[in-house]
Amino acid sequence: MKNLKILIIVLSLLIVTPQTLAKKAAQTATPNPEYMNLTWWHGFGDTILDEYLVKVYENNPDLKIASLQTQQSRQVMNQAFANQLPQLYFSGNLQRIISASDEKFGSLVIPDYNQSHYYLPLTMSYEVDIWGENYLKTKSMKKQIEMTKQDERASYISISSDFVSNYFTLIGLDRIIVNHEKLLKTEEEIVNLTEKKYQSGLCPLAELLSEKQTLTQISERLNSLKERQDITINQLISQLGDRYLTQINRSNFEAINVINTPAEISTEYIENRPDIKKAEFYIEKTGIDVKVARRDFLPKFQIYGQAGFNAFDFSRIFAPHTFLSNIGIAPSIDLFTGGYKKAKLKYNKLEYEKALQIYEKSILTSIQELNDAMMSVKTSSNNYQRSEERFKLEQDKLLLADVKYKSGGSSKLEHLKHEQALLLSEDDVVVNKINRVISAINLYKATGGQDYNTAL
């Protein structure tokens, strides 16, 4: 019965432990409020988007991976710090000695025998960090943590920006699909009227064939738009990290708020970008690694000691005369390592030079991305403004066409053409408005997730 209870306990531990570890892993991969920056996203004035962003921060697998990598780097730093502390461990030896033959030591004869030996010491060792080498290793790992934190921050900026861009792209696709469904119906009606016109001998066959060709083009375009709509929904679901989600709620096109952007922006905004900060920490880390490699040439001093019991009779293992202890210091220096340490020092020096070049490249890339994003904002703003002007002109033209059609001055076919032109012009407004919003998001990414509206 006792053995059965033990078996049940062991099986319970095997079953519960993985679940417990999974829960702990989920709890440790919590969103970092420092990187969420929900205040900036509130500027779009979309409550549905705000709710989705919270879910992205909580559930996105890439963000959880980034968070866990940061926590892993902290544990690596803790391992490095542990080398600065004394080490205490138990390493015992219990043995049974059986001699089946006589042993001779000169004229001394020891007959066959058997005995037990119990050796139970606690061992302490400590490397005296005279040159600060272990301290520098810990300091280097702290810089590595800062680098990993910048990677995590970059993930927050990139994933949230991509999600919002996809969200507004989906809203734009919704509106364009509605327009193309209207276009399809209008073109079907135009084809019917043109066919009647052809049968009456009022137009050539080429005109009818041209309208039928336009009908197939609109149908193909509508199918492509619906495909892109489904793909965008799937991308949003994946970014939300919810495998059971099948649909995405969203606002309508008219509710999109085009946020203000500055006419010009200073390159000072790149200073806080994650890649720039990471490159700075990398320079600091590699500089420390060079110091560590230099100090590795110096002698090391290991303090060691033991305290425990050494007995041949278990019943007297804790007797006073069985106590053993020793303490000492062991200086050591590597006289020949085949050039390993010299190569390691040279490697770290080259790594430092590489870190400097990575920093320079990060600055150049950041300036380019910032300038590109700013140019995109200007272009998309101008295009959006012009498309709105053109749309208003098409509206005025349609009003005139309505008057002309109602007065009998034009045919229904001509009136449908004007309706088509208005729908196509509205598509341009939708595309340019979405591009304007996405360009503002790309500028946010280029500044490293900063609120650039302070530059207005």
CATH of the domain at 232: 1.20.1600.10
Beta bridge partners of 332: 300
Q: Tell me, what DSSP letter sits at residue 255?
A: G
Query: E strands along 15-148, which residues?
Result: 87-90, 93-99, 103-105, 108-110, 113-128
226 domain residue, yes or no = yes
- What angle is formed at CA 370 by the lines to CA 156 and CA 44, rounded to 5 degrees? 55
Quick check: helix, strand or coil at residue 310? strand
2 domain residue, yes or no = no
163 domain residue, yes or no = yes
15 domain residue, yes or no = no
Query: E strands along 198-238, which residues?
Result: none
106 domain residue, yes or no = no
CB 126 within 8 A of CB 82: no
Q: Number of structural domains, the chain? A: 1
CB 448 within 8 A of CB 269: yes
Structure-token match 């921050």, residue found: 153
256 burial type by CB count under 10 A (0-12 exposed, 13-18 middle, 19+ buried): buried
CB 453 within 8 A of CB 259: yes
CA dihedral sign of residues 29, 33, 37, 41: positive
Structure tokens belonging to residue 310: 């050494």
Structure tokens belonging to residue 65: 């991976």
104 domain residue, yes or no = no
Q: What is the pLDDT along the chain (456 residues), one digit of tens a residue?
A: 444 444 445 445 444 444 444 445 445 567 777 787 888 899 999 999 999 999 999 999 999 999 998 998 888 888 888 888 888 888 888 888 887 777 777 788 888 878 888 888 888 998 888 888 889 999 999 999 999 999 999 999 999 999 999 999 999 999 999 999 999 999 898 888 888 888 888 888 888 888 889 899 999 999 999 999 999 999 999 999 988 888 999 999 999 998 888 888 888 889 999 999 999 999 999 999 999 999 999 998 889 898 888 888 877 888 878 888 889 998 988 888 889 999 999 999 999 999 999 999 999 999 999 999 999 999 999 999 999 999 999 999 888 888 888 887 778 888 888 888 999 999 999 999 999 999 999 999 999 988 877 554
CB 265 within 8 A of CB 455: yes
Q: Which domain holds residue 139?
A: 38-89+116-455
94 domain residue, yes or no = no
Distance in Å from the first CA to the final CA of the chain: 79
303 domain residue, yes or no = yes
The Cα 54–Cα 38 span in angstroms is 8
* C-alpha distances out from residue 308 to 315, 329, 351, 447, Å: 15, 19, 47, 63
The enclosing H or E element of 331 equals strand 323-332
| Amino acid identity at 208 | L
